[in-house]
Structure 1
């Protein structure tokens, strides 16, 4: 298998963290390619990362699909629980983590552009989404575990991304329980081996 590599992408980080949690990261070849490269578009018409090419040559995208595929390989306990309440809880946490990323990545791009009323409104809208998600996670921190589900990994990657790209907007104040949870998991292999870099 090979996966598009980016040391800065939180979505790539999430996929590789899943592979590490499953004990199959040694089966992943890192594929460095620009999103503008036509070779990537041939595999993924959206031209986005992560893209994973299976051993059978099938291109999978994006991170939720890739993570679920990786969860089907190997013999480690599943990151995606079987059908039932535990599965919905894990998927909901994944949606919260991915939602933080979905609101943060475009906001980062918008901040770099000339500011006008519309752009400022958009930035504030995205910032509000992140703030509300953090508040929910603080209230529901008991549902988070030691990176045993896709939800745990997605939330950890989202918090790591906020540290990486928005250090000037610290998320820890007002979220002491979430801060304590993150401190308990950031040193575990799925996170420690995937620390982002520019």
Structure 2
């Protein structure tokens, strides 16, 4: 077995996705994930509190990036622009992991327990983004509305991007979705989002 090291998180996540696709989420055990990745079960639990969490390994990175970008946005940026730019930039790294993200989402979509955890993580992210906006001096309800709207646009874009196998550029897709949501809110017909 390999030793616990800084590179264990990625191999454990990859092993979990592979095993879930091969055997189904319910059928695999933590020890099997660890063995597939070349680590001990103990190492797995140093990184993840339970089996479902390994499928959300990258969420903490996304969460931290988005929140720090909102906090650090230019003072001239309005609430929605700060949030939109953060999600647009944070999602730009998805392309290099497109295959794994698509596989992971396939596993999540097939299990209500994982779907519930995903929704919980998205809600936590929206709350953290709203708090980041409050730190910038944005009062409620504007902080909550911008955070929820940005998170919604992120979720819609991610679904479309995954469906498209990650072939389209994330920033462009995100801005198109943002424009479409904005058009719905103000009551104008949205421009269709092209999927190639």
Task: Tell me, yes or no, whether TM beats 0.5.
Answer: no
Higher helix share: 2
Report the TM-score when normalising by structure 2. 0.31
Report the TM-score when normalising by structure 1. 0.31
- Structure with bigger RCO (C-alpha 8 Å, 6+ apart): 1
